[in-house]
Amino acid sequence: MASISKEIEIAARPEDVWAALRDFGAVHERLVPGFVVDSQLDSDDVRVVTFFNGAVAREVLVGIDDETRRLAYTVVDGPLASTHHNASAQVFGDGDQRSRFVWITDVLPHDIAPRVSELMDHGIAVIKETLESARVRSE
């Protein structure tokens, strides 16, 4: 199984970054607007996301842990035809006004890992830009 890890520093309060991440149904508005162009909840723990390239994926929420600021989900249907795709994202405080965002994805088959890594690079850059812009607007 390929395991891909991305990490980025964000100039925003950890509680604000966590609030955006844990809002599972509003990923297209609060976390990665433009990267995800739409997200519809099928139920409390299932969302259908549409990406910037028109790809659609069905994701199931595995869990939200407010204490550790960690969210985990699995992709059960998506355009990459993975046989396994599980991911988690976690927010760590780095002082009062900074956060460290860690996103880890485990995926099979191995040959789709480079594409997943590329998409994660794009997504995490949008996360940083979105959350830092939100901080500036709120000041």
Q: HSE on the CB side for 126, CA within 13 Å? A: 21
Mean pLDDT within 67-89: 96
| Cα-Cα end-to-end distance for the chain | 43
Mean pLDDT within 56-83: 97
For residue range 96-126, list pLDDT tens digits in order: 899 999 999 999 999 999 999 999 999 999 9
* Partners of residue 39 on adjacent β-strands: 49
Task: List the domain range (segments joined by +) for residue 62.
Answer: 2-138
Mean pLDDT within 22-51: 96
Tokens 């088959």 locate to 109
Q: Domain containing 18 — which CATH number? A: 3.30.530.20
Distance between CA atoms of residues 121 and 84, nearest Å: 20
Whether 95 contacts 85, CB under 8 Å: no
Q: Domain total for the chain? A: 1
